[in-house]
Amino acid sequence: MIWNEEFETLPREALESLQLKRLKATVDRVYATVPFYKKKFDEAGLKPSHIKSLKDMRLLPFTVKTDLRDNYPFGLFSVPMESVVRVHASSGTTGKPIVVGYTRRDIDTWAELMARTLTAAGIHKGDIVHNSYGYGLFTGGLGAHYGAERIGASVIPISGGNTKRQIMIMKDFGPTAITCTPSYALHLADVARDMGIDPAKDFKIRVGCFGAEPWSEKMREQIEKIFNIDAVDIFGLTEVIGPGVSSECIEAKRGLHVFEDHFIPEIIDPETGEPLPYGEKGELVFTSITKEAFPVIRYRTRDISCLNPELCICGRTFVRMERITGRTDDMLIIRGVNVFPSQIESALMQIEGLEPHYQLIVDRKNNLDTIEVQVEVNERIFSDEVKQLEVIEKRVVHDIKEMFGVSCKCTLVEPKTIQRSEGKAKRVIDKRQL
């Protein structure tokens, strides 16, 4: 099923002329209203009128996450605050989040895109959608919520956490669709089984839209089998709009159609910044072409993928991006939260007695991400009483919880026990098997 036949099946030529028209309008808009973009364009000797074809995209400067941080909180907004009806945020590379805004029309666009996403997964009016994506500053919860309402489904806005209660509701309310992270789906299944409930028989769920973190074909098979459902991959990021940037169709389940009438995707070589042809793997870059409050020009996602222009059996003409296979930076996603090792490092360095030698051990137990922080203490603290060590451990756990909302374990270790590296320090040991 296709939510918006008119746009989702546009012939390539018509789509490209629409993209060019919208791109030009966006470039004009950011040049006129966002000093950051004007300065960048001027430095590159670029005028909006230089963008005459889609190929000219490559003349546009890239935008990166630190640009968002440097303009915290509202510096990249392209409309006055009184036109902004919503803000969301996601973690940045330092303690400060990156902040995005939406006009009423942006919220409307977003609902449309999530309506397309859910429809592509086979969800429709009459379905009951159990939405376990987090509500709040995260985009996931409200994104899926508005999409589900737009198609006329009944939403259960349960958000994340309180797993036993979620399972009771899944059994009693009989949702036919679920939206959550893939790891949380597996955790829900584990807890359900512990409660004597068989997710394949005792739930009515038919389909799930899973995303917000990396997963694999193997995990898809597991989820489909355990719940006896179809599992589709959905993708998005706060900076671009939130979920609703691309999504798989249930017909093919092979790659995520990018909503190209709203976002222009590119794949670039992360070293040189050169655009790469279809089929080659590289860093995903998006330019928004319809957003009002927070347009982004050639935003570097750091996510690794490739684009496939082959026509799909579902009838959509949009290119498909391959499921994300990695990142070009060290960002970790722990229970759906973006965590940068550098943020943890700066938290640790605030604490008296800790040395700048640490390692993060990430794992998945009972389908829940775990993180252990191992950090060296100095000689003095180490030879001090055990009580002192306990105080520091508690402080680390507390500070990291404050920063990300994620619980970690902290192990203080003797000075000089964490392996030193001759090149780039290996800060993260990720044992999760996707």
Note the residues at the interface with ligand ADP (CB under 6 A): 90, 138-140, 211-214, 233-238, 242-243, 301, 303, 324, 333, 338
128 or 334: whose CB is closer to ligand ADP? 334
Closest distance to Zn ion from the beta carbon of 257 (Å): 6
192 or 237: whose CB is closer to ligand ADP? 237
- Phi and psi at residue 122, to the nearest 5°: 90, 15
The tokens describing 358, both together, are: 């640490």
121 or 237: whose CB is closer to ligand ADP? 237
128 or 240: whose CB is closer to ligand ADP? 240
252 binds, among ligand ADP, Zn ion, none (CB under 5 to 8 A by kind): Zn ion
CA distances from 350 to 344, 346, 353, 356, 415 (A): 10, 7, 9, 10, 18
Count of residues of this chain found to bind Zn ion when the rule CB under 5 A is applied: 5
Buried b (16+ CB within 10 A) or exposed e, 87-121: bbbbbbbeeebbbbbbbeebbebbbbbbbbbbbbb
User: Which residue from 252, 333, 368, 413 is in contact with Zn ion, where contact means CB under 5 A?
Assistant: 252
Exposed / middle / buried, residue 47 (Cβ in 10 Å: 0-12, 13-18, 19+): exposed
Closest distance to ligand ADP from the beta carbon of 291 (Å): 15
Closest distance to ligand ADP from the beta carbon of 212 (Å): 3
Buried b (16+ CB within 10 A) or exposed e, 6-24: ebbebeeeebeeebbebbb
**Rounded-to-integer distance, Cα 258 and Cα 267, Å:** 13
* Residue ranges in 296-355 that form contacts with Zn ion under rule CB under 5 A: 312, 314, 316
| Residue 234 near Zn ion by CB under 5 A | no
49 or 325: whose CB is closer to ligand ADP? 325
Closest distance to ligand ADP from the beta carbon of 302 (Å): 7
140 binds, among ligand ADP, Zn ion, none (CB under 5 to 8 A by kind): ligand ADP
251 or 329: whose CB is closer to Zn ion? 251
| Residue 362 near Zn ion by CB under 5 A | no
**Rounded-to-integer distance, Cα 245 and Cα 260, Å:** 9
Q: Which of 282, 204, 318, 296 is nearest to 242 (CA)?
A: 296
| Residue 249 near Zn ion by CB under 5 A | yes
Under the phi-then-psi rule, with left for phi > 0, alpha for psi from -120 to 50, and beta for the rest, what region is 220?
alpha
Closest distance to Zn ion from the beta carbon of 358 (Å): 44
Pairing of strands 242-248, 256-258: antiparallel
Report the largest interatomic distance among the alpha carbons of the chain, rounded to a whole angstrom: 73
Among the listed ranges 33-41, 47-55, 239-247, 248-256, the one in contact with Zn ion (CB under 5 A) is 248-256
16 or 322: whose CB is closer to ligand ADP? 322
Q: How far is CA 289 from the centre of its chain?
A: 19
Closest distance to ligand ADP from the beta carbon of 224 (Å): 16
210 or 227: whose CB is closer to ligand ADP? 210
The length of the chain, given as a count of residues: 434
**Rounded-to-integer distance, Cα 295 and Cα 308, Å:** 25
The tokens describing 170, both together, are: 């899944």
Closest distance to Zn ion from the beta carbon of 128 (Å): 25
78 or 117: whose CB is closer to Zn ion? 117
| Residue 76 near Zn ion by CB under 5 A | no
Q: Other C-beta atoms within 10 Å of 42: how many?
A: 11
Pairing of strands 354-365, 428-430: parallel
Q: Which of 282, 290, 270 is nearest to 306 (CA)?
A: 282
312 binds, among ligand ADP, Zn ion, none (CB under 5 to 8 A by kind): Zn ion
211 binds, among Zn ion, ligand ADP, none (CB under 5 to 8 A by kind): ligand ADP
139 binds, among ligand ADP, Zn ion, none (CB under 5 to 8 A by kind): ligand ADP
Closest distance to ligand ADP from the beta carbon of 71 (Å): 17
Q: Which amino acid is at 281?
A: K
Closest distance to ligand ADP from the beta carbon of 233 (Å): 5
- Binding residues (CB under 5 A) for Zn ion: these are 249, 252, 312, 314, 316
